[in-house]
Copies of this chain bind each other. A is one copy, B any other.
Amino acid sequence: MADEPHESKTKILNAALRVVRAKGYSATRVEDICAAAGLTKGSFFHHFKGKEELAIAAARHWGAVTGAMFAAAPYHRQAEPLDRLFAYIDFRKALISGDPAQFSCFAGTTVQEVFDTHPTIRDACSATISSHAATLEADIGAAMRQYRVNGQWTAKTLALHTQAVIQGAFILAKATQDPSVALASLDHLRRYFELLFHPQPEETEP
């Protein structure tokens, strides 16, 4: 019994992630989320004052859920930093198939709409994007040192660029209704990494 409120709260948060990714934040009504969660409005308002408070909690929930998923993902098993980065991009590609409402980003979708009208939701979404990007920085920095890459850029800007490509690829997939357009963009991102960190044959072959 003690767990019940918590369980219903999680159901509401998961429903919010599904519904908002399918129809956007503004078009999503509290009723839609309750219907998707199989719960009453009474239950909703027991946990949240309204849609804005829900959206902030949903952004944090999105960060927690995807953060755990990426932390457990197989790309970390690669021994070399650059190989982990390639495997990360390949893992992102593997997630892209079927319906964009399933593979697109709650934070990117929501921030697109609310950046000016709901600063607290925007900042909660921004935090999930930035903190995910930051998980790539150590490997990018290590690859920069390993391949002696010194450019007019930093590990942080390249990590954020990967997220720009992924977010933009989601928009193209939504626009064209064709996941292969998004996959082609991630292939270009992977090729950029190959060209930035090109192994010198004399250094890498035994």
A113 contacts B26, C-beta separation under 8 Å:
yes
Distance from A104 Cβ to chain B, minimum over Cβ atoms (Å)? 8
Interchain CB contact under 8 A, A153 and B112: no
| Number of this chain's copies in the complex | 2
- A54 CB within 8 Å of chain B: no
Judged by DSSP, the binding face of A is helix
* Interface hits, A117-174 → B, CB 8 Å: 117, 122, 125-126, 129-130, 151-153, 157-158, 160-161, 163-169, 171-172, 174
A43 interface hit (Cβ, 8 Å): no
| Cβ B168 vs Cβ A164 within 8 A | yes
Q: Which residue from B99, B114, B169 sits with its C-beta under 8 Å from A168?
A: B169
Within the complex, which residue of B153, B164, B174, B177 is in contact with A165, where a contact is CB–CB below 8 Å? B164
Instruction: Digitize A33-59: 1 where CB-to-B-CB distance is under 8 Å, 0 elsewhere.
Output: 000000000000000000000000000
Provide the A171-206 mask, 1 if CB < 8 A to any CB of B, else 0. Answer: 110111100011011011001100110000000000
Asked whether A24 lies within 8 Å of B191 as measured between CB atoms, the reply is no
Taking the nearest CB of chain B, how far is it from the CB of A176, in angstroms?
A: 6
- Distance in angstroms from A24 CB to nearest chain B CB is 3
Interface size class of A (residues with CB under 8 A): 35 or more
Residues of B within 8 A of A109 (CB): 112-113
Q: How far is the CB of A186 from chain B (nearest CB, A)?
A: 9
In the assembled complex, the CB of A153 is this many whole angstroms from the nearest CB of chain B, namely 7
Residue positions of A touching B, CB distance < 8 A: 22-27, 99-101, 107-109, 111-117, 122, 125-126, 129-130, 151-153, 157-158, 160-161, 163-169, 171-172, 174-177, 181-182, 184-185, 187-188, 191-192, 195-196
A–B Cβ pairs within 8 angstroms, 22 of them: A22-B116, A24-B25, A26-B26, A27-B117, A99-B116, A100-B115, A108-B175, A109-B113, A111-B174, A122-B174, A129-B172, A152-B187, A153-B191, A157-B181, A160-B172, A163-B172, A164-B169, A165-B165, A166-B168, A167-B168, A168-B168, A195-B196
